[in-house]
Amino acid sequence: MTTVPPLKQRYTATAISLHWLIALMIMVGFYIGWIMTDIPGFTPTKLKYFSWHKWIGVTVFVLAAIRLAWRLTHRAPPMPRGMPVIQKFAAEAAHVMLYALMFVIPASGYLYSSAAGIQVVYLGILPLPTLIGPDAALKVVLKTIHIWLNYTLLALVTVHTLAALKHQLVDRDGLLARMIPFLK
């Protein structure tokens, strides 16, 4: 039988909302990034997808900053009693890496755009500052970094999801209910 933690054992509504909103945006951004790079040539559709991808990245960066500020001022609910120390350590390390990637991935994409000589215009109306000038060699490096960081995030999110499912289906310790309010 699954034990649903009491309300005080859950994340706040703000933390839950930010978690799922950012997760959804990252999934959509990853998907758009995946398909836009397979479109041959330089088409209006490809340009539109690149714009959407960049807008999502900027939004994730801003929401991640809000989420981090919230997390620093609101303690996370405690881990389940009896959870092995190594699992607690792994969970904490994974969360630190997830937070870091929510900042570093959009930053690497932003810098990649700058090195490619393309200014990011948020939502098509707000030109963002170009932090570095066009640089062909740096463009290649930043593109590679951006791609590999995304694959790292994909692997980490997969492990995070599998761990959450293990807690729900095997351990039955109610851990997943901390982030999914309607889960019993």
Return the CATH number at 156.
Answer: 1.20.950
Query: Quick one: pLDDT at residue 7?
Result: 41
129 CA to centre of own chain: 23
Is 2 domain-assigned?
no
Could you give the 3-state DSSP secondary structure of residue 126? strand
Query: Quick one: pLDDT at residue 143?
Result: 97
Domain of 33 in residue numbering reads as: 7-178
Mean pLDDT of 141-159: 98
pLDDT tens for residues 90-147?
Answer: 999 999 999 999 999 999 999 999 999 999 999 999 999 999 999 999 999 999 999 9
Is 1 domain-assigned?
no
Is 162 domain-assigned?
yes
Domains contained in the chain, number: 1
Are 168 and 160 a contacting pair, CB within 8 Å?
Answer: no
Mean pLDDT of 164-184: 88
Is 93 domain-assigned?
yes
Are 4 and 178 a contacting pair, CB within 8 Å?
Answer: no
Is 51 domain-assigned?
yes
Kindly indicate the confidence band of residue 184, based on its pLDDT and cuts at 50, 70 and 90: low
Kindly indicate the confidence band of residue 8, based on its pLDDT and cuts at 50, 70 and 90: low
Query: Quick one: pLDDT at residue 1?
Result: 47
Query: Quick one: pLDDT at residue 4?
Result: 46
Could you give the 3-state DSSP secondary structure of residue 118? coil
Is 183 domain-assigned?
no
Is 41 domain-assigned?
yes
Which residues touch 28 (CB under 8 Å, ≥6 apart)?
A: 56
pLDDT tens for residues 24-56?
Answer: 999 999 999 999 999 999 899 999 999 999 999
Is 96 domain-assigned?
yes
Mean pLDDT of 175-179: 90
